[in-house]
Structure 1
């Protein structure tokens, strides 16, 4: 039975409105100044890293340990463990950072992920993956699959894992869980998608742009960025344009997006598609908020409010999985009595 729960928070704060105005004034014009091609990607990486660092707040009770492991079974796995002072046992988050498939890293997202670790009291493995234009599709989903299997090989079971990701990381999280369903494998306990990408053709964002232009970037700008990742691959490739069939039930999912961002329509699309397949979905569209606003804790109060809700979802997903394990154990005991 499908369940789609929609939650619309209160109107945006004055600080959020100010941040939107300032971003539109300062960041949006960069799209027309930064050169195109690989040089433009390198410039944008540095600019975006600086902007994210200025807007971010890190948790103070979380320690980071870098990972760079190369094995025959999983290839090279890179990332970092983010561990709160008193983590809940038997629970982990597999976090996939956003990037536009070109730009970011575990370092740029460390403040956001550390806050999620702290607020949910959960150990997080934040995974690194290869970026375009140096490494186009399918490098990223291959890296994510290998890293997820590596995580399980460290001793975690799938129902102890919540998969989370933002923007392109949300696209990769959906791809991973859909891949697991189709391979008949045990699913994670839950999925958290922050401002997730769904439509790599950018048609959904272009249509939305007619009514609500994004303060950061245009649909045309996103298309140029994604072209480095797609190259000659058909955007309708099943690992790029995901179609969830009836009965392909994914883990309980929380989706958060900003009401003033270019991927709001993508968030609605994913929520409707998952609910139609029978997945339990919660959709939160935060009015007036920008793309992955949860990362901008220094700028807007809603960043922390939304992330706390995501942290509560993570805890609840883990608890529900633990309850299912206990019920199954009791049932087995009853059968042998």
Structure 2
């Protein structure tokens, strides 16, 4: 790994047309165009599907039989992004582990404010269980706001009395909509993607007056007891770094098995650059190994 790769990615992001707190319709187009700009390799197979009533995109790489199922939640501050636009990053995870990944098209704010996304996440998980997919053959992954949503799903699963998935991985999670983390200020000049202003705008759209301290909205403030093993990754340049650090500490205090890895010099969700950045590829290798070490292949009970 060379630091110059991460520096180049940060410069690219800083000069992009994306303003996360800008006009939502315009930024949705910009966000999807940015994520979909690189062509997918020929061995990536996708199809649209539904998990109950929730749309999703199924992603597989190659012809290997599936050894488990990943439920994936894309980022975009609860207002941008889509399952289709997430396929590039999702396929890089699928390439590294023999699982089928289902990227969930949860409803977005401001049209569908909190708790619509959480309701969709739980409905998608229930649909997998109703299909007969064992909980211990399911892993959950989310990036950015999708990381917060993945954590909110685990809380909803516990509240509903359902079996927890085998594990959960959150990449640069936005887990605290109160924006109380110290790196909101200390990393403000270093972060090429996120700003407090933009997150404040999108949080207001998502919450629509709901309490930002509510655990399903800000899982960092929840009782984390009983959650499955967690893998948390974050970049050293991002203002959400403290969300990841505090989340790991709270999980450990709740006796949840937790692995935290930070990547110096890395921006928000740098894993999306795995094809061209060595450290991003190494991060996804860790994600795949974590999934494989916890998921129980279907049929092997």
TM-score after normalising by structure 1: 0.82
Question: What SS is found at the alignment partner of 1:106?
Answer: coil
Q: Could you say which residue in structure 1 is the equivalent of 2:90? A: 113
RMSD: 2.5
1:216 maps to 2:206: no
1:259 Cα deviation after fit:
0.8
1:137 to 110, 114, 119: 114
Change (3 A) 1:30 1:53: closer
1:61 maps to 2:67: no
Q: Could you say which residue in structure 1 is the equivalent of 2:223? A: 245
1:51 maps to 2:34: yes
Q: How many residues are treated as equivalent by the alignment?
A: 300
1-structure distance, mates of 2:227, 2:179: 24
1-structure distance, mates of 2:228, 2:200: 30
1-structure distance, mates of 2:187, 2:264: 17
Q: Give yes or no for contact 2:275–2:281 (8 Å, CA) kept in 1.
A: no
Higher relative contact order, chain-length normalized (CA < 8 Å, sep 6+) = 1
Q: Give yes or no for contact 1:257–1:292 (8 Å, CA) kept in 2.
A: yes
Question: Which segments of 5 or more consecutive residues in structure 1 lack a partner in the other structure?
Answer: 1-9, 327-337
1:80 Cα deviation after fit:
1.4
Q: Give yes or no for contact 1:58–1:112 (8 Å, CA) kept in 2.
A: no
Q: Give yes or no for contact 2:187–2:239 (8 Å, CA) kept in 1.
A: no
Q: Give yes or no for contact 1:57–1:112 (8 Å, CA) kept in 2.
A: no
Match runs of 1:315-326 below 5 Å: 315-319=292-296
Q: Could you say which residue in structure 2 is the equivalent of 1:331? A: none
2-structure distance, mates of 1:79, 1:189: 21
Match runs of 1:54-93 below 5 Å: 54=37, 56=38, 58-68=40-50, 74=52, 76-93=53-70
Question: Which segments of 5 or more consecutive residues in structure 2 lack a partner in the other structure?
Answer: none
Larger Rg: 1
Change (3 A) 1:123 1:207: closer
1-structure distance, mates of 2:110, 2:210: 14
- 1 or 2, which has the higher helix percentage? 1
1:14 maps to 2:13: no
